[in-house]
Amino acid sequence: MGMKTAEEKILQTCLENLAEGSSSLDEPLARYPEQAEWLRPALESAAWLQDQRPVFEARPGFVAASRRRLVERIQAQPSGLRPWQAPFAWRAPWLVETRRRLGYALLLLVLVFQIGLNGVTIAHAAPTWLPGDAPYPAKTVYENASLALTLNQMDQAGLHALYARRRLLEIQALIFEERYEPIPAAVDNLQYHTRQATALIELLASSDPHSASLLAADLRQTLTAQARLIDLLARFAPDDTRLQCQRVRHIADQALAQIDAIGALDTP
């Protein structure tokens, strides 16, 4: 066995013992006295690294909360089937997307028919519904249907920006009403629409920089004003909600950074 190979194996053995907490530094150094000269600094570095691990731990409750969000996001996927379960999906991915759009078109037709029968318009009633209200799912279904039927990039970006604004207003209303449980899901949805809006604006910037700038300016105004209000409201909210408000701030800051970069494109 070469010298180097032996050193590497000795180090690995000592690291495994260190990781198990079964030895201090003195024990391996006493076991391998001839290697002490190089082994000591290596083990000291390894022990130091191991000691740093706790400062990189996730904050308490993060894994449980984010697990809930992840499962909700997966279960809320528009199609009951996962993309790879749709027939012929492996052959024609576009077919899955077309079926999704047709599904939303049909749903929208049903909703419009129902609206006509009831004499109430979703456009009028929807803004007042908050997450947790019984009719609220109809609002998000309507939003998703509108997006699915909008093929123009600029209009899609506008819709995503509008729905991001709605989520911000809903979060503010929920804090006012001390209804904290639906807030994490609302923040998730805000993040989704904000990311989609900025991504689409960025795409639009290369083909239509003027429209992109206008959309960017509108989104900037929304995020700046509404996120600031949420910062203020956060002071009166419990700890968990305050963390959600920090997420809102983070989402807004990220989007604003991207918008600033996009805004520069239209400068003469």
Partner 1 sequence: MTDGLGQEELELLHAAQNGDAEAFGRLYELYAGRVFRYLYAHLDNRLDAEDITEEVFLRTWQALPGYRQRGAPLQAFVFRVAHNALMDHYRKTRRHKPAVSLEDERFQTQLPDQAQGLEDLENRRHLRRLLGKLRRDYRMVIDLRFMAGLSLEESAQVMNRSPGALRVLQHRAVLALRKLVEQDRLEE
Nearby residues of 1 by Cβ (< 8 Å), 6 or more positions away: 9
Part of the chain binding partner 1 (CB under 8 A), chosen from 26-34, 70-78, 98-106, 164-172: 70-78
Two structure tokens written together for 181? 């449980």
Residues 6+ apart with CB under 8 A from 170: 130, 131, 186
Contact flag: residue 94 with partner 1 (CB under 8 A): no
What are the φ and ψ backbone dihedral angles of 150, each rounded to 5 degrees?
-100, 115
Among residues 95, 105, 225, 261, which is the contact residue for partner 1, using CB under 8 A? 261
Q: Does 61 bind partner 1 (CB under 8 A)?
A: no
| Binding residue (CB under 8 A) for partner 1 from 50, 98, 121, 224 | 50
* 75 near partner 1 (CB under 8 A): yes
Q: Using CA of residue 233, residue 234, residue 237, residue 240, what is the dihedral sign?
A: positive
Structure tokens at 134: 């019984």
Residue type, 15: L
| Choice between 45 and 98, CB closer to partner 1 | 45
Among 20, 22, 53, 124, contact with partner 1 (rule: CB under 8 A):
53
Contact indicator for 189, 167 with CB cutoff of 8 Å: yes
Site residues (vs partner 1, CB under 8 A): 4, 7-9, 11-12, 15-16, 19, 38, 41-42, 44-46, 48-50, 52-53, 55-59, 62-64, 66-71, 73-75, 82-85, 191, 242, 246-247, 249-250, 253-254, 257-258, 260-261
